[in-house]
Each structure stands twice: as C-alpha cells, then as structure tokens.
A and B are shown apart, each in its own frame.
Chain A
Amino acid sequence: MKKRLMIMVGLTVLAASIFAVNPRDMKFPPLEFKPTDPVRFETDNGMVVYFYEYHELPVVMATAYFRGGDVYDPADKIGLASLTAALMRSGGAGTRTPDQVDFDLDFMAASISSSSGSDYLNVGYSSLKKDVAAGFAMYSDIITKPRFDSSKMALEVSNRKEQIRRQNDNPGNVTRRVFYQQVYRGHPYGYFPSLKTIDNITGNDIGSHYARFYAPDNCIMAIAGDLTLKEVKALLKTNFSGWKKTGGKIEPVAKAAPQFKPGVYYAERDINQAQLRLGHLCLDTHHPDRFAMEVLNFALGGGGFTSRIMLEVRTNAGLAYNVGTYLYNRPLTGNLFAYCQTRADAMGQALTKITDIIKEIKQNGITEDEMIMAKESIINSFVFNYDRPDEIANARALLELQGFPPDQLERDMAAYQAVTLEDCRRVATQYLDPEHMVIVITGNEALFDQPMSNFGPVTKVSMDIE
C-alpha cells in the first residue's frame, strides 16, 4: 500500500513539472484602477481637512499635521519639539487631569499619540466609531487645550534623560546617530538631544513652542473612517470651531550646506560585528532629479535582492544579512547612504565591495535590465499607496504640507515612466561621490581584517554621555 502511494506521488510530481507554466513567462497587463480621492475642505478657522470615507469596519482614524518639528529647536534646547508633543498627550487637557485623560482613552480603547518628526509635528487619533463623539472631544482638548502639568514635565524630562543614558546600548542606534551627526554637521538634521539640552528646557519654552506651532491655520488634518462628510463636518464644528487662528506663518529652516568632513568615524563598541553606514548629502524632496536617482538607487542597493550591493555582499559573499542603500530625500537636503553589518573580521572586505560598486556605477551607470526592473517595480507597486484608507488621506495631507500639487502621486508615476538610461548615467556621475563620504564604523578595531585608515583619515568618536 505504502509503495503504491509512493509511485503515484512520483508520477504526479513528474506530470506537474512537465506541464507547468513557468512564472517567468507569465505576462500581466498593468493594473487598471482609478483611486478615489479624499474630499478636501477648509474650516472657518483655517484648518485644511482631507476626509476619506470608508465603511468596511466601524473605525475612525485621524492625523493632525502641523508645520514645525525638531529642526525648529534652538541649538541649546534640542528636544523641545519632542518634549512638547509628548506633554500634550501626557500633561492633561481641558478640564481633565493627566490621569483622567489616560483613563478615558484606555477605557474606550481609543488612542491619541502626539509626536514630533524632524520636519513636521503630528497628533494621531484612532477609535471605534461608537466612541467618536467622546474621542474627538478629547482629541480637541489635547490639541487645543493642553495643560502641561508640571509633575508630568518632570517625569518626561527624567525619561528622556534615561533614554540618553541608554543611547549607546544598541550598536545600530549608535551607527545611525553618528552618521547623521557627521553628515549633517552644523545643521539641525545633525542635532540630537543631550542631558544638557534637555535640562535647558523650561516650562515657558514649552508654552511658547506650543503657541507658535499648534494653530488651526498651521494645521492639515487627515481623517479616514466610518463616517459621512456631514458627520465629519459636524464633529469638527463641535470640537474645533472655538480654536483661534494665530495668523503666524511658519517659515522654512535654511537648507543644509555641506560642512561635513569626509573620512572614517569610529564608534568603539565591544561587539563581534562591524556595523557600517557610509554616504553623503544628496537630494531634497522637491529635486527634479529624484526620479532618476530613485531608479539608480534601486539598482545600486535600494531594490533589495535585485540590487547590486545585496547580490554581491549577501547572496554571493554571505557577508551580511542586512545590507543595501537608502536614498533619503528630505525637505532640507537629503542624503544617500549604504548600510551593512558584518562579522568584525570582514569589515574591510565588505566595505571594499560596497565602495567598489558605488564607484563602478558612478563610472558606468546601470544596465537597461536593471533600469527596467526598478521602473516596473515602482510602477506596479503604485497601487499600494492606495490600499489603506488612512494612508490615502495621510498621503494627501502630507503632499499639501510639503507644497506639492494634489495629483503629485500620479505625476510621480509619469516621471518614473520617463526616466531613461541616459538620465541614470547622468545622475550617477553627478550625485554619487564615493571619494568624499562619511564612513561610520561601529565595533572593535582589534578584530577588524584591515586598518580603518585604508578608507580615509580616522576620527574616534566620543561615546561619553553628556
């Protein structure tokens, strides 16, 4: 019985392999779809609102974005935006004490989170539909009437200082921090809070930071969920119409000028890997060359397994699990970097492979196959910008916040379509600069296969907690 079964199994397997269509020969037309746009409207006090209606689940999500962010922190008070944002959530609001806010939110399983990014501030909301009236009342209190309770300020300050004390515990975080400090030397993108800058922040600083940035005429709110437009307008009228305009305009911070010194920055940690991050400044969010550069980066190291650095360092050499490049276009000058974590005695080997590939692509550009792979991937995965309601609403709010036209996502697709091999070659020559990179190496030099000085002048970075 058992034997007969085995023979039959053998036959089926054979049959399947003879008649199967090879997936590589399957051709699919481009997906045709027309994304539904969120509705945009403005309130009397100057809020811009995007609303995306969605009724599959009884939930409501919102994000209020504000121009502002960490880049506006004064150099001696780094951490101000982030501390203010945290205190809006934890320091009580309206008639509620901090404990009441916590209890009311937890009891209805709603979430409000307030945080500061480098280039904008945001306050997020989510709840079940049945709780949206109570939830939005609280959301409004947190945004428009935060109390900044002083005991909570002391707690937030102490937590932040503890986080700083622990900032060298994870080698990945060390590598990231040192890279940004060096590549954005002298620019707010390179500033990180220290025990000192946190101690410098006073209650008055928090109050004036809040007053400057959190205003209806500086706010774009994205809402998605199980509501009608009428319900959304009523919710906003009830909860946000008393919020006063300030008329103050938030001007952008100066763009980053290259002040970094190329070379090796060594962060000494007692670990058995070398963690590498190397790169330089690159394009800002609006730069017209960002499409060609995105395609180039895909082939260089941004496209996962189809990229050259991944193929060489991971697939062929087995030197790393997590390796590649990232093109990080930021509003005030972005950056391009390669990253890799490899066993300590392969540091030089891996670093050489990565820099050689960057040099090769700067010299010769990428191949047509590589370009096609990158473009097809970007274009065919476009639909994933539209697969979740909150993403759709948030994406449109962010575009407006960054000064893009409403159909920018569609324009992006056309721009990717139009990228040519010649464009890729040009941006490779123009923007890749393997001879002038900040190279951060975290690890124990006694274990490395080559001296770090093979890759440039070495500066040892202080690991002291200040």
Chain B
Amino acid sequence: MRIIKSFFASGLILLLAAAAVSAQGELKIPVREFKLNNGLTFLVVERSTAPVFSGYITVGAGSANEKIGDIGTAHLFEHMMFKGSRLVGTSDYEAETKIMASEDSIWARIDNARQELRYMRINEPDRVEAQQKYIGDLQIILDSLAAASSEYVIQNEFDGLYTRNGAAEFNATTGYDFTHYFVSLPSNRLELWFAMEADRLIHPVLREFFPERDVVSEERRLSVENNADSKLFEQLIGTAFIAHPYQIFWEWQSEENNLSRADLEKFHRTYYTPENITVAIVGDVKLDDVKRLAEKYFGPMPVRPKPEPIYTREPEQQGERRVEQVYEANPAVFIAYHKTPFDHPDEPVFGILRRLLAEGRTSRLYKALVIDQQLCLDISIDVFPGNDLGDVHAGVFNIYAYPNDGVTTVQVEEAIYAELDRLATVPVDSVELKKIKNNIEADFIWASYSNIGLAGYISEAHRLAGSWEFIDNFRNSLNGVTSEDIMRVAKHYFTKENRTVATLVPKEQGGEL
C-alpha cells in the first residue's frame, strides 16, 4: 500500500527503484558529480540508449517539516510550483504581484473575521449577522481580485511548454522528508529543462492560489477519505506515533483550508536552499553541457542558511496500541512495529526481513497465510515512510493483511505472530538467506533500467545520506546480514509492547446508508 501525494493523479511511483550494480560489483553506476558554489549538487549519468533524458530534483524537505497549524504546506507548495515563475505563466509579473498582495490582505481579514465570529456568537449575538455579511463581502472582493489577476495569468503555461516539447513522466511528489520534481524530455530540450526548473525553483510565483487549495482538498477526499486502505492507514500511524511528525498521513482539511501564500513562501525560503537540493540528470546528455547550463541557470540561486533539522524523537512504545476504523468496506488488519532510522546498524536487517516475510510467493507470511492456511486474500509489508534505503528518522515496519470471508482478523493476527515468533527462535537457513540476497542483487541491477528510476534513486541516496555512494554501502550492509542478526532483531522489535494494530470494521451490511 503506497499512496503518494502527487501533482498529477496518475503519478509515477518510483520510491522503490534501486540502483545499478552488477552481481559481483564489476559494474558501478557511472555517476559524475559536481557542486556549484552556492552548494547545489548535480549527479549526472551519461547514457545513450535513446535520445532522451530525465531531470530529477530532490528537495530535502517534506511534510515532516511542517508545524502544527500549517499541516499541508509542503504538499500545497509542491502543487503551486506548477503555476509557473516570474517568466512563465504571466504576461506582466509586476501587475500580477500587486493584485496578489491585495488578495493576501483580504484573505487575512477573512481569516480574522471568522475567528471573531466564533466569539461574537457567545458575547455579541446581535452583531453576528453583520459580521457574516462582512465576510461575504470580503469573499466577493477576493473573487473579483482573482478575476482581475486572470488578465495577466497565462494559465497552465508551465505545463503547456513541457507538453508541446514532448515531455513524458512529468510530475512531482511530496513525502515526509523530501519533495521530488521530475520530467523526461527529448535530449535536445536540455536547456529548456534548465530554464524552466531553475526559474520556478528560484522564483516560484504562487498565482491562482485559492482554487489550487481547493484542488488539494479534493485530492485528500479522493486519496484518503474515500479509500478504505488510506482511512485505516491514517489510524495506524496516527496511533503508532505520539510525538514524531511521521504520525500525520495526509494534511488535515481544517489546516489546509487556512493556509496562506505567506505560509508557503516561508516554507520555500526556509527549505528550498541550494545545500538542501540534489539534482540528478540521467540520459543522453554530455557532462560538459550539464555543467555549463547548471552554472548559467542555477548559479544565481541564492545561498541561504541551512534549515534546522527535526529534533523530535519518538519515545519508546511500552505497550500494545489498538485502534478501529469503521468503514463501508470488508475487513483488513494493519500492524506496525517501530523500527530504526537509516543510519542505525539494525536498519539493513529490516530490509532483509521485509523480503523474507512478504516478497514473492515463497516468502514466509505469504506462503503461510495465503497459500497454506488460506486465511488471507493477500498480505504485504511496507517499511514506512518507505524509502528502500531507510528514512531520516525512525519509521515503522508495517504488515497489511486482508482476511478471507469467514476468517476473523484475530485469527489472521495470531498466524502472523506465530511466524514472527518463529523468526525469533529458529535461525533462517542458508538457502533462504541466499534467496533473499540473490533478490537484493537483482533489484540493484533492475533499478537503473529506466532513466527516471535511476535519477530518483541516486538523488534520494544523496538527499538521505549526503552521498549517492551510500547505495553501495547499503548494499554491502544488506549482504552482511546474518541469520543471527535476523533472530536478534526479530526478538527485539517484534514484541507485543512495540506494536500497533489497526482493524477495519465493516459498516453493517444492508443497513441504511
């Protein structure tokens, strides 16, 4: 279950891409790296399989960097990046800016007036009607300002320029610790990519802000509120975490609806700094051209202070947590165990455990619960938030199961725990371990099959660990995991005290809707 916040609905899901290295390590990903004076890192892989390239921008900030009250900022900002820049999307940037400033001040008054209204209802009920009219009038002014700015807005020009130049795979995604912007283009459009991306990264213009905020609300309705898996997942991680920002699955409508352009601009100023961004370009390009264009277009990107890290650490869980979600769907049970961050020595063991338990038909949970005992329709595992190389902060190891008709979620849970207990007591034999390591090697090779997958993978490694070569380190650590490590980690982490269980309880069948 991997649902991602994207700009386009049909977003590519690339997080599981792995890298290209040969079985014995003779092949290494031929990455060339350089850094501009302002601190912006470029990773380049030249290859000429086809006359195309993918450009991939990884920003080291996402929804985990949001503050309570402003939840949704990272994602809404990602959407606004498609509205263009000072050059693209406008016929008169100066005139447009003045109108946007007026819009912002009207919005601030609406926001304020709504707060007052709440207290007026208690303390000055006779003023309520006038206040409501005042808010209505402000809303009319806001709409008329939007109409006035439309004189200067060239709608969807950013998308249109890419589209007519033959772009493919154009989208962006927001995660907890990152935001990605990516596109693939014919190779003779390299300079177009630089001009478009540098301008929006340095000078984003948050035009047509208010309708886009509504679009993002609709995205939540579609992806979360009307999706049984997401509803259950939201409860699972909301219960598993009590302190860390990983606890919030998606923005809350109440906060989203009150975000302002100023909130987004502050986020951009704070986190979209050269040191905090990695650019990867993979495909039919020449390193020298990339260097020259990078200097020309991204050289002017201003240096800004390094953003503050997230200091919050999730306190140790000391007892099982259980939660239910009632929904119009069939039963499901999701289980989360707290695990480690990317730089913890136990982290690679979770990479092995995921494959051992739920990758392929011979994996332990799939074989036991789906094939042999026939308790489940399907069972799968995710490491959350979900980077295959690990995440900046300690995430969770999640198991998702869908019971067959007539099987209770309790039976499914018991069968899962029996398998986890076996891991903690019986060593994994060498054949099974070899099977997993063979798969790890194959994953690393397949990962560089597509330009966009490889670009995402190397830039993510750099974002996570400060070096794309972390891919090699991580691969070596995975290969070094022993059956003793597996037993130790299973015993330590797969405990009742460390788990959260979320159950989907069907709304009564045949009842009134």
A164 to chain B, nearest CB (A): 10
With contacts A28-B165, A387-B50 taken as known, whether A107 is within 8 angstroms of B435 at the C-beta atoms is: yes
Q: Mark B303-323, 1 if CB is under 8 A from A, else 0.
A: 100000000000000000000
Q: Does A26 contact B192, Cβ atoms closer than 8 Å?
A: yes
Residue numbers in A under 8 Å from B188 (CB-CB): 28-29, 31
Chain B hits for A458, CB < 8 A: none
Say yes or no: B163 contacts A109, CB within 8 Å.
Answer: no
Assembly CA distance A384 to B217 (angstroms) = 33
Interface locus among A351-359, A375-383, A395-403: A375-383
Q: B23 near A17 (CB under 8 angstroms)?
A: no
Number of chain B residues close to chain A: CB under 8 A:
90
Chain A proximity mask over B158-191: 1 for CB below 8 Å, otherwise 0: 0111011111100000000000000010111101
Contact assessment for A321 and B195 in the assembled complex, using a CB-CB cutoff below 8 Å: no
Nearest neighbor of A54 in chain B, beta-carbon distance: B49
Cβ 8 A contact of B222, one of A21, A56, A165, A322: A322
What residues of A have a CB within 8 angstroms of the CB of B402 in the complex?
A: 162, 166
Contacting residues, chain B, for A182 (C-beta < 8 A): none
- What number of residue pairs across chains A and B have CB atoms under 8 A from each other? 237
Q: Note all chain A residues with C-beta closer than 8 A to B448.
A: 57
Compute how far the CA of A158 lies from the CA of B300 in the bound complex, rounded to whole angstroms.
62
Q: Mark A308-347, 1 if CB is under 8 A from B, else 0.
A: 0011001111111110000000000000000001110000
- The yes or no answer to A237 lying at the interface (CB within 8 A) is no
Quick one: closest B residue to A103, CB to CB?
B362
B438 touches A108 (CB 8 A): yes
Within 8 A of A (CB), among B347-404: 360-363, 370-371, 374, 377, 402, 404
B86 neighbours in A (Cβ, 8 Å): 17
Give A109's nearest chain B residue, CB to CB.
B442
Report yes or no: A304 in contact with B163, Cβ–Cβ below 8 A.
Answer: yes
Stretch in A69-77, A247-255, A266-274 with 4+ CB within 8 Å of B: A266-274
Q: Is B244 an interface residue (CB 8 A)?
A: no
Q: B224-232, B419-427, B464-472: which lies at the A interface?
A: B224-232
Residues of A within 8 A of B291 (CB): none
Residue A462 at the chain B interface, CB threshold 8 Å: no
Minimum CB–CB distance for A391 against chain B, Å: 10
Q: Judge if B22 is at the interface, Cβ distance under 8 Å.
A: yes
A318 neighbours in B (Cβ, 8 Å): 210-215, 218
Residue numbers in A under 8 Å from B82 (CB-CB) = 305
Is A1 interfacial (CB 8 A cutoff)? no
The digit string for A118-147, where 1 denotes a CB below 8 A from any CB of B, is: 000000001110100000000000000000
* Minimum distance in angstroms from A233 CB to a CB of chain B: 24
In A92-127, the 8 Å CB interface with B consists of 99, 102-103, 105-109, 126-127
Query: Out of B165, B222, B330, B374, which one reaches A341, CB within 8 Å?
Result: B222
Give the distance in Å from the alpha carbon of A377 to the alpha carbon of B164 in the complex.
4
Q: Are B166 and A388 in contact (CB under 8 A)?
A: no
Q: Nearest-CB distance from A133 to chain B (Å)? A: 15
Which residues of the partner chain A approach B195 to less than 8 Å between Cβ atoms? 20-23, 26
By a beta-carbon cutoff of 8 Å, the part of chain A in contact with chain B is 5, 9, 12-13, 15-17, 20-24, 26, 28-29, 31, 33, 54, 56-59, 90, 99, 102-103, 105-109, 126-128, 130, 155, 158-159, 161-163, 165-166, 168-171, 268-273, 275, 303-306, 310-311, 314-322, 341-343, 372-373, 376-377, 379-384, 386-389, 444
| A-B pairs with beta carbons under 8 Å apart, 20 shown | A12-B302, A23-B161, A26-B192, A56-B47, A102-B360, A109-B442, A128-B442, A130-B23, A155-B374, A158-B404, A162-B402, A169-B228, A268-B513, A271-B226, A272-B225, A272-B226, A318-B213, A388-B50, A388-B449, A389-B49
A17-B87, A271-B328, A381-B166 given; 10 more Cβ-contact pairs under 8 Å: A57-B448, A59-B449, A271-B225, A305-B160, A321-B218, A343-B221, A372-B164, A383-B50, A387-B184, A388-B449
